[in-house]
Amino acid sequence: MARKFRLTLAQLNPTVGDIAGNAAKARAAWQAGRAAGADLVALPEMFITGYNTQDLVMKPAFHRAAIAALDALAADCADGPALAIGGPVTEDGRLYNGYLILNGGRVASRVRKHDLPNETVFDEVRLFDAGPLGGPYSVSGTRIGSPICEDAWHPDVAETLAETGAEFLLVPNGSPYYRGKMDDRFNHMVARTVETGLPLIYLNMVGGQDDQVFDGASFALNPGGGLAVQLPDFDEAIETIELAETAEGWRIAKGPLAHIPDTWEQDYRAMVVSVRDYFAKTGFSKALLGLSGGVDSALVAVIAADALGPENLRCVMLPSEYTSQASLDDARAVADALGCRYDTVPIGPARAAVTDTLAPLFAGLEPDITEENIQSRLRGLLLMAMSNKFGEMLLTTGNKSEMAVGYATIYGDMAGGYNPLKDLYKTRVFETCRWRNANHRDWMRGPTGVVIPPRIIDKPPSAELREDQKDEDSLPPYEVLDAILHGLVDEEASVADIVARGFDEAVVKRVEHLLYLAEYKRFQSAPGTRLTMRSFWLDRRYPIVNRWRDPG
C-alpha cells in the first residue's frame, strides 16, 4: 500500500513580541491538524516571535522567552501530530533563525537558516548567524527538507536536502508583499522543483507589521512546477493537504485553488490590512484624519473605513479663507458616502492668534511659504489634540510623490501615526480611487458603490494654502514627476538615463535636488504601507546630509 502523508498548513497572522499569543495560535492550529488526522502541522518562519523582529530578537531576555515558549509548546502538543514552527535557536553563543520540529513532547529537530537576506527590508546578517547546510528531518517515517524562506530562493540548500534524502520540501516563510511578488515566488519555487525533482510546499504568514504586509498566498507545487494547492492571499487559512508516494516519487493531491487578484486589488488590500493590523496590534480601534476635499485624503478615508469600519472613523474638515466651496462640498460628500462622523473646525481664529503673536517679529517682511506652513501646522496641532482627547489615531495622507520631493509640511500635514499612501505615487492614487469606486469585496467594511465622487479625482490638485494655488505651480505635472521619480527612486537611474528617455534635463535635476533635500522630512515621517521594493524607510536608506548631485 502506498505511503501517504497528511500536512496541515497554518497560514496565520502572528504579532511581533506577543509570544504567548503566538503560541496560543500555534496550539489552536495543532488542534485543528490533530482533528484532521495530520502527521505534521506547519507554521511559518519565526512564528513564535512574530516577524520581522529587527533588533528585538537579539535581546537575550526576548529570545530566551521565545525558546522557553517553544519548549512549553512541545510539551503541550505531545499527544498528536508533530508541529513545525519558526523561532530562534541558540547554540554556543550563536543566534539562528530556526525551524523547530516539536514531536513526542520535545524539540526533535532544529533547522538553521543558511542564506540570510541582507537587502531591502531585511538585515538578517546583522541579526543571525548563518546555519550549516544540513539534511532532512523525519516525521512519521517520511524525510522532509525545510529550506527557510531565503534558503529556497537559491539552489544550494534545496539541492543539499535532495541529495541527503528529502522526499519533499516544506518552505516556511515570512515573505512580505511587494507589487509583483507572486511571480517572483513562483519562478524561484518552480526552479527548485525542477532542480530537485521534489514536491514543494511554500507556507507564508499573513498580516501587517509596521510598514510590511505579509500576504500569505501559500501554495504547493508538484515536480516540474505543477500547481496542486493555492491558498488565498491576505487571509488566515488552515488547510490540510495530502501527499502520496507513487512510482515516480511523492506527489501532492489536488486541493483548493484560490483566486489571486490583480496588482490593483493586491495593493489596495495591502493598504487596508496594514491599517487594520497597525491599529489592532498597537491597541487602537478608531481613526481620524483631516478631510480636505482632495483626492489623497478621500482615498485614505475610504481605506480607513474599509479597514476599521465607518463607525470607527472621524473625518475633520479644517477650512481657512482659501478653502473653496467645492472642497467643502467634496469633503462632505465623501463623509456622507462612507457614513462616518464628520466635524468642521475652522482654523481662522487660531491662525489670527498666531499671526498676531508673530507680527512684531515679522514686521516689514512679505508673506511667503512661512504663512502657508502655519496653516498646515495649525491643522496638524488641532488634529493631534483631537487624537489625544478622543484616543483616535491620526492618519496622515501624503502620497509617495509628495514624500519624495518634500511637498508636505513637517509637523503639519505630515503629522500622524500611520500613512497608507506613503508608497503610492500620485498617478496611482487617481487610478486606485477609480478602482475602489468600481469594486467592492467582502473584506471591505466600507460601503459599496461610488465612495469618492469623480469630480474629486478629476479636479486639479491643490493644497489651498493661498489664492488659486495648484500643485503644478510648484511641481511638474504628476505624470512627468512620477515617471522621473520612478527612475530616480525605484530604478536608481542616473540623470543622464532619465534625460535619454525624453525628459528635460533641468526638470530632472530639479526633481533630483528636491528628492535629496527632503530626506530629513522623510526621516521624521509616519510609517506607511510598503507596496514596492523601493519604499521610503528600510528599502531606501540615504543620508540626511548629502551635498552630492548627479552631474548628468
Q: Which residues are catalytic?
A: 45, 113, 149
Whether 113 and 149 have beta carbons less than 8 Å apart is answered as: yes
Q: Give long-range contacts, CB 8 A cutoff, 24+ apart: 485-492.
A: 485/400, 485/401, 485/404, 485/405, 485/425, 485/511, 485/515, 486/425, 488/512, 488/515, 489/404, 489/515, 489/534, 489/540, 490/532, 490/533, 490/534
Does 52 sit behind a cis peptide bond, omega within 30 degrees of 0 on the bond before it?
yes
- Grid cell in block for residue 500: 535619454
CA-based nearest residue to 379, from 396, 355, 401: 396
Can you give 380-407 as a three-state secondary structure string?
HHHHHHHHHHHCCEEECCCCHHHHHHCC
- Grid cell in block for residue 338: 462612507
Q: HSE, CB side, 13 Å, CA atoms: give it for residue 35.
A: 8
CA–CA distance, 313 with 286 (Å, rounded to integer) = 6
Residue with C-alpha cell 469594486?
A: 439
CA–CA distance, 23 with 42 (Å, rounded to integer) = 13
CA–CA distance, 342 with 5 (Å, rounded to integer) = 56
Whether 190 and 158 have beta carbons less than 8 Å apart is answered as: no
The phi, psi pair for 40, rounded to 5°, reads -145, 135
- Grid cell in block for residue 291: 478631510
**Sheet containing strand 226-230, strands side by side:** 137-139, 142-145, 168-173, 200-204, 219-222, 226-230
- Grid cell in block for residue 60: 537575550
Whether 518 and 409 have beta carbons less than 8 Å apart is answered as: no
Whether 311 and 444 have beta carbons less than 8 Å apart is answered as: no
